[in-house]
């Protein structure tokens, strides 16, 4: 009986609550509050091309705004680096028949570190018989100077290191395990490295041939 009376009085209690509470928190507003308005957004800055960045940097220089000039030159340098990377990636050898080539994507962090560690371009080759080759091109890297010492004295690499001639350039081939070879090619002050697995040394030298080195050298200087 008490329960029935409580249920029967519930409409009266709701009516009383509606009279006391503000209209904004009663009825449907109590169940589904009004959504917030969208946050104010700013328009994304339009990317400038290389000539526009140089013109902006020159204008900032003339006006004595050296911070602005420096920022524009850094942005212009980033555009040059991206184009240079595309040219170097295009110099990678074509995948052999029935092979697959996958270039490694460069993330933003790697791009930010480019000025300190140089530019690194990588690509992976996969063959139908589980052959694997990873090519890495290191440009303007301080690590290359350290590694280039081995080219003047291959004995530093231990037994099994072989000098490979590429015209005016040279490479070092070293066996590392039963079916793994490492090939390093010094092209001027830059270095191309190949890490091959599941294939012969001859097959690796067919992939990394003189034509590839010449094309890479042209991409580095042009």
Place of tokens 């599941």: 198
Please check whether residues 78 and 168 belong to one and the same domain.
Answer: no
- CA distance linking residue 126 with residue 133, whole number of Å: 7
Angle between helices 66-90 and 210-221 (to 10 degrees): 160
Structural domain including 183 reads 91-221
Find the range with the poorest average confidence among 9-23, 97-111, 124-138, 152-166.
Answer: 9-23
Q: Which helix (H) or strand (E) holds 88?
A: helix 66-90
Please check whether residues 69 and 123 belong to one and the same domain.
Answer: no
Please check whether residues 99 and 135 belong to one and the same domain.
Answer: yes
Q: Above 70 in pLDDT, residue 13?
A: no
| pLDDT for the residue 3 | 44
| pLDDT for the residue 145 | 72
CB 190 within 8 A of CB 170: no
Please check whether residues 82 and 117 belong to one and the same domain.
Answer: no
Find the range with the poorest average confidence among 77-91, 103-117, 120-134, 179-193.
Answer: 103-117
Question: Angle 96-198-178 (CA atoms, 0-180°, nearest 5)?
Answer: 145
CB 162 within 8 A of CB 172: yes
- Mean pLDDT, rounded, of the chain: 80
Q: What is the mean pLDDT of residues 65-75?
A: 95
Closest of 86, 207, 188, 104 to residue 141, by C-alpha: 188
The pTM (predicted TM-score) of the whole model is: 0.70
Please check whether residues 58 and 167 belong to one and the same domain.
Answer: no
Burial 92-129 (b: 16+ CB within 10 A, else e): bbebbeeeeeeeeebeeeeeeebeeebbbbbbebbbee
Please check whether residues 76 and 96 belong to one and the same domain.
Answer: no
Please check whether residues 121 and 205 belong to one and the same domain.
Answer: yes
- CA distance linking residue 216 with residue 222, whole number of Å: 10
Q: What is the mean pLDDT of residues 32-36?
A: 63
Place of tokens 């490979």: 164
Please check whether residues 123 and 81 belong to one and the same domain.
Answer: no
Does 152 map to a domain?
yes
Work out how many domains the chain is built from and give that number. 2
Q: What is the mean pLDDT of residues 17-39?
A: 54
Please check whether residues 127 and 74 belong to one and the same domain.
Answer: no
Q: What is the mean pLDDT of residues 111-138?
A: 83
Find the range with the poorest average confidence among 3-7, 36-40, 54-58, 85-89.
Answer: 3-7
Pairing, β 132-139 against β 190-197: antiparallel
Please check whether residues 143 and 170 belong to one and the same domain.
Answer: yes
Find the range with the poorest average confidence among 84-93, 150-159, 213-222.
Answer: 150-159
Give pLDDT tens digits for 41-69.
666 566 678 999 999 999 999 999 999 99
112 pLDDT tier (thresholds 50, 70, 90): very low
| pLDDT for the residue 6 | 45
CATH code at 212? 3.40.1000
26 pLDDT tier (thresholds 50, 70, 90): very low
Q: Give all strands (DSSP E) within the chain, no chain letters.
A: 100-103, 119-126, 132-139, 162-166, 169-175, 180-187, 190-197
- CA distance linking residue 169 with residue 216, whole number of Å: 12
209 pLDDT tier (thresholds 50, 70, 90): very high
Does 213 map to a domain?
yes
Q: Please, what sign has the CA dihedral across residues 139, 102, 98, 194?
A: positive
Does 172 map to a domain?
yes
């Amino acid at each position: 009986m008490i329960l029935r009376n409580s249920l029967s009085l519930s409409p009266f209690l709701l009516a009383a609550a509606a009279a006391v509470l503000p209209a904004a928190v009663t009825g449907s507003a109590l169940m589904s509050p009004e959504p917030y308005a969208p946050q104010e957004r700013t328009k994304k800055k339009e990317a400038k091309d290389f000539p526009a960045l140089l013109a902006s940097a020159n204008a900032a220089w003339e006006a004595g705004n050296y911070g602005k000039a420096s920022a524009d030159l850094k942005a212009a340098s980033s555009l040059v680096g991206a184009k240079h990377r595309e040219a170097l990636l295009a110099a990678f050898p074509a995948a052999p028949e029935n092979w697959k080539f996958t270039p490694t994507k460069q993330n933003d962090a790697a791009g930010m570190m480019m000025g300190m560690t140089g530019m690194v371009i990588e690509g992976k080759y996969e063959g139908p018989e589980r052959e694997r080759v990873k090519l890495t091109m290191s440009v303007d890297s301080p690590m290359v100077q350290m590694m280039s010492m081995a080219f003047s004295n291959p004995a530093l690499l231990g037994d099994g290191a072989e000098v490979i001639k590429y015209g005016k350039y040279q490479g070092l081939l070293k066996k590392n395990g039963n079916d793994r070879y490492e090939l390093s090619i010094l092209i001027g002050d830059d270095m191309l490295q190949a890490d091959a697995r599941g294939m012969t040394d001859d097959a690796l030298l067919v992939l990394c041939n003189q034509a590839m080195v010449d094309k890479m050298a042209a991409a580095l200087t042009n």
